[in-house]
């Protein structure tokens, strides 16, 4: 059993698509915010996969670096969104 770059990209694409679905489908904007970390996670998985399997490029771990930065950015954006969203009632 093995996994290659195409398998990694399929998982990344699925995460990005489900995140986009959450962001567009949810009627509540605060719920739609949950789609952001999913999309960022998908992008991070694609970057990490490219860093793991790609041949060229320097530095070699650029993809891992971007994946870590994307996770931090996702947390920051969700915090900002939850902070500024809402003057309605809690559910």
Partner 1 sequence: MDSLHAIGFYVSAAISVGGALLVAFLPGRGARGLALGVSGLGIAGLYASLSADFAGLVALVCYAGCALLIAAPRYRVVDTPVGFAWRQAGGVAAAGLFAVLAYAAYRGDFVEATYRGGEIGSAAIGRVLFAHDALATAAVGALVFVTLIGATAAWRMRERGR
* CA dist., res. 44 & res. 57, Å (int): 17
Residues near partner 1 (CB under 8 A), total: 78
Which position has the token pair 């041949």? 55
What x-and-dash track marks residues 9-38 binding partner 1 by CB under 8 A? xxxxxxxxxxxxxxxxxxxxxxxxxxx-xx
Output the smallest distance, CB 80 to partner 1, in A.
4
* CA dist., res. 45 & res. 11, Å (int): 8
Element housing 25 (H / E)? helix 5-25
Residues 42-61 that bind partner 1 (CB under 8 A): 44-45, 48-49, 51-56, 59-61
Residues 58-87 that bind partner 1 (CB under 8 A): 59-65, 67-69, 71-80, 82-87
Output the smallest distance, CB 17 to partner 1, in A.
3
Before 59, cis peptide (omega within 30)? yes
């Amino acid at each position: 059993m093995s996994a290659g770059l195409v398998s990694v990209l399929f998982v990344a694409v699925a995460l990005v698509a489900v995140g986009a679905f959450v962001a567009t489908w949810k009627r509540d904007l605060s719920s739609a915010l949950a789609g952001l970390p999913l999309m960022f996670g998908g992008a991070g998985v694609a970057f990490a996969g490219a860093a793991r399997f790609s041949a060229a490029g320097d530095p070699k771990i650029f993809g891992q670096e971007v994946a870590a930065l994307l996770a931090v950015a996702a947390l920051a954006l969700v915090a900002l969104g939850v902070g500024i969203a809402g003057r309605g009632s809690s559910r």
